Amino acid sequence: MGSIAGQWPYPGSHVYGASKAFVKQFSYNLRCDLQGTGVRVTDLSPGIAETEFTLVRTKGNQEASDNLYRGTTPLSAEDIAEQMFYIATLPEHININRVEVMPTRQAWSPFAIDRD
Please give the positions annotated as active site.
16
Cα–Cα distance measured from residue 80 to residue 101, given in angstroms and rounded to the nearest whole number: 9
Residue type (1 letter), 54: T
Cα–Cα distance measured from residue 17 to residue 12, given in angstroms and rounded to the nearest whole number: 9
List Cβ neighbours of 103 (8 Å cut-off, separation of 6 or more): 47, 48, 72, 73, 74, 75
